[in-house]
Amino acid sequence: MPSLAWYVQRLSAMSPAEIPWRLSHKVRDEVGRFRSWPTAEAIPFSSIWNGPATLIEWRAAARSPLPAKPAEHELASWPEEWRTRCLAEAEDLLAHRVTFFHLERHDLGEAIDWNRDCESGKTVPVTYAPRLDYRAANRVGDVKIVWELNRMQHLVRLAQAWLLTHDDRFAREVVAQIQSWIAQCPYMHGINWTSAMEVSLRALAWTWAVEYILDWDGLDDEFFKLLARSVHQHLDFVDRHYSLHSSANNHLVAEAGCACVVSSWWSGLRGASRWHQHARAHLERECLRQNWPDGVNKEQAFFYQFFVFDLFFLPALQARRTGNPFPKEYHARLEAMAEFLAWVTDSAGNTPRVGDEDGGLALRLTWPHANECHGLLNTAAAYFARADFKAWAGGVLDEKSAWLLQERDKLDYSSLETPQSRRASRLFPEGGYAVLREGEGASEMLALLDVGPLGWPATAAHGHADALALCLHLGGVPILSDPGTWSYRDNNWRVYLRSTPQHSTLQFGENNQAQYLNRFMWGKRFAARLREFEACPESSVVVGDVTWWSGEHHERRLEWHSDTRQLRIVDVWHGTRPASIVFVLHPGIHARAVDERSVVLSVGDVTLQFTVDCGELAIEPMKFSPRCYVLVPSIRLVVRGLPAAGRAACTLQALASATSAG
């Protein structure tokens, strides 16, 4: 169980109205121990269903247009590499080999145990879910690994393989895995009924996969009715367990987004209309509440923005197709979210790593290492009729968008002209990001200064203590980067990677700009603000400052000079402890010291000289997490020997031999 300190910290993030709400839910859950919860198999079908009575009738009925199945002639015209990748993954999945996080083609065994941490081998007891402490690693293992597998998003790839081949093996495996899950995970018991977000994502994956194989001759009424009963339990669970108040971050978006789509497809379920209305109301409110007007998501974590964009977008796509679109304010905010991600992503499709990242997806429609930004921009291009989005995604439809869009959407996409639309410097004032950029392709420079808040207002669960941190990409190559996440386990690596000393900003000792409380909560926070922003063809300037929670002050000025291709960073500070300035290098960058104040950086065709005008410049090893559960060695540049108050100027200069590469 969480410690007393954890409860005190969590209570501090709650409003007065939230406490009685949580107490009432706690009482409800405790009383639920004495209920006899029915298994899906035991529910009388007539008690949960008022739609067409048989599978044949359901096939013929008018259902939600999302999920949408590509036509046979479309599938035949797709690139062979899409088919090859999908079928290779599907063959692995038939053999119960899965790939997620750091697990590559991990063997789950002949019979999948859905209540087991497949990495540690620890099996979670199938006890009453509300009394199961999923944080207790000694009892449940790593719950994130358990939950990721139980999202069952891999079933969509199996179903896609059936659409591509009509090979019975793939459809049969989809059915078999759903049946085995329902048998092993009775309603309200076990680890897979402890999170409404996980329940909702699983229901979406099931629905998508079953729509893809709905015409398979092997489907029968018995499976259809079993699945309908379990989906009823999933939707009812989500509707009773929405993450509200201080927990209403990306979890609530996932719950409502999935419930909105799933309840529309399963319109024959009793309660579907009510659940759909509740989910849509949450989405309409949260799209505006959780995202700044300039399109920045308030988690202040870029890869979470990809996640929640899809969860807002899928219901909007479904609603437009059914003739009941979301309000125009909702669509405007969605479009702003896509535009922000486009502006901070380089022309090679690399999005700077800011804040937490766990690789979470609303839905798995393509291979694991697909470019997330290109997929988002392509679907947004078709939806919003944005030719610039299409151009920035490369002008070619990606696999994810091909699965997601209907044929008429693809015709709209094809009709979009792709102008030479260049992204330039831009300020996102509410979200707190200043973008300095110039050029495209090999000559592109993209610098991002973080002057935003720490994270979600209640807890800042996924924010890093990174005010005034600098990210830099040159020629489509990340140079300065956020160090990543590694995992959400409660240990020193979580503390290390979120801390100020591991980000490209100024440090006072080894302390943080904000008060670290626990792995998903910050206490007292820094106050960052933008002071100046000016973008001109010859030069661009941005100035921001931050006051630490402990009172120290730091001001940073970025100057980009186009003629000399030089980035100048000027820091001014005053505090009570000696200062240092850190620059975190992306893995794979080589650093060679020239003298005590100058270093040459090189990666591929990109070569830079880094120079500082005071202190001593050191090259130090550090750990870097390129994706969840992966740690690799990298290096950072540290300007040491600085006083508690002072000024320093650092210069990044592209060397002449690499000017063409940026």
* SS3 assignment, position 234: helix
Give a three-class secondary structure readout of 454-489.
CCCCCCCCCCCCCCCCEEEEECCEEEECCCCCCCCC
Q: Please classify residue 444 by burial: count the beta carbons closer than 10 Å to its beta carbon, then call 0-12 exposed, 13-18 middle and 19+ buried.
A: buried
Cα angle value 69/263/298 (rounded, 5°): 95
Q: Tell me what pLDDT residue 490 has.
A: 83
The tokens describing 241, both together, are: 């367990």
SS3 call for 452: coil
269-308 pLDDT tens trace: 999 999 999 999 999 999 999 999 999 999 999 999 999 9
| Structure tokens that stand for 141 in this block | 């293992």
Task: Kindly report, residue by residue over 530-559, the tens digit of the pLDDT.
Answer: 999 999 888 899 999 999 999 999 999 999
For 556-585, write each residue's pLDDT tens digit.
999 999 999 999 999 999 999 999 999 999
User: How far is it, in rounded angstroms, from Cα 358 to Cα 494?
Assistant: 12
Sole residue written with tokens 């694991």: 368
Task: Provide the token pair at 537.
Answer: 């063809």
What tokens appear for 481 in the block?
A: 């980067």
Across all residues in the chain, what is the average pLDDT?
94
Distance of alpha carbon 614 from alpha carbon 646, whole angstroms: 10
Q: Is 455 a residue whose pLDDT tops 80?
A: yes
Tokens of 270: 């009793």
Q: How far apart are CA 534 and CA 571, in angstroms?
A: 18
Query: Helix axis angle, 302-321 relative to 372-384, nearest 10°?
Result: 30
Average pLDDT (480-499) is 94
pLDDT above 70 (res 628): yes
For the record, the structure tokens of 194 come out as 């402890």
Predicted local distance difference test score (pLDDT) of residue 7: 66
486 pLDDT band, cuts 50/70/90, is very high
Cα separation values, 432 from 298, 355, 453, 467, Å = 10, 13, 7, 10
Does the pLDDT of residue 659 top 50, yes or no?
Answer: no
pLDDT band at 360 (very low <50, low <70, confident <90, very high): very high
Cα dihedral 94, 99, 103, 107 in deg (nearest 10): 0
* pLDDT (average), residues 344-367: 95
Domain layout of the chain by residue ranges: 12-244, 291-418, 426-661
Q: How far is Cα 282 from Cα 287, in angstroms, rounded to an integer?
A: 8
Question: Taking a C-beta distance cutoff of 8 angstroms, is the pair 642, 581 a contact?
Answer: yes
- Whole-angstrom Cα distance, residue 526 to residue 552? 10
Q: Which pLDDT score, from 0 to 100, does residue 643 have? A: 97
pLDDT of residue 393: 94
Please write the tens of the pLDDT for every residue from 225-277. 999 999 999 999 999 999 999 898 999 999 999 999 999 999 999 999 999 99
List the structure tokens of 458.
């209640």
- Shortest CA distance to 439 belongs to which of 453, 451, 425? 425
Beta bridge partners of 123: 116
DSSP string, 565-619: TEEEEEEEEE-SS-EEEEEEBPTT-EEEEEETTEEEEEETTEEEEEEESSSEEEE
Q: What share of the chain is helix, strand, coil (3-state, %, to 5)?
A: 40, 20, 35
d(CA 41, CA 83): 36
Residue 141 has pLDDT above 80, yes or no: yes
Average pLDDT over residues 588-594: 97
Q: What is the mean pLDDT of residues 2-14?
A: 71
Report domain 426-661's class. mainly beta
Distance CA 648, CA 44 (A): 73
Angstrom distances, CA of residue 508 to CA of 499, 578, 610: 12, 6, 22
* Of residues 325, 339, 323, 243, the one with CA closest to residue 286: 243
User: d(Cα 494, Cα 408) in Å, to the nearest integer?
Assistant: 46
Q: Phi/psi at 630 (nearest 5 deg)?
A: -120, 125
List pLDDT tens digits, range 192-216.
999 999 999 999 999 999 999 999 9
Q: What is the pLDDT of residues 413-442, one digit of tens each?
A: 999 997 777 889 999 999 999 999 999 888
Please check the confidence at residue 53 and state whether its pLDDT lies above 90. Answer: no
- Residues 494-511 pLDDT 10s: 999 999 999 999 999 999
Q: How far is CA 311 from CA 4, 258, 283, 345, 457, in A?
A: 35, 7, 9, 20, 21
Structure tokens at 298: 């308030």
User: Which residues, at least 6 apart from 560, have a Cβ–Cβ distance to it below 8 Å?
Assistant: 425, 436, 438, 445, 447, 539, 540, 541, 566, 567, 568
DSSP 295: S
Query: Alpha carbon of 440 to those of 103, 267, 377, 535, 620: distances in Å?
Result: 35, 47, 17, 17, 32
586's CB contacts (< 8 A; 6+ apart) are 477, 478, 479, 480, 481, 603, 624, 634
| Residue 518, helix vs strand vs coil | strand
Residues 588/61, Cβ–Cβ less than 8 Å: no
pLDDT at 372: 93
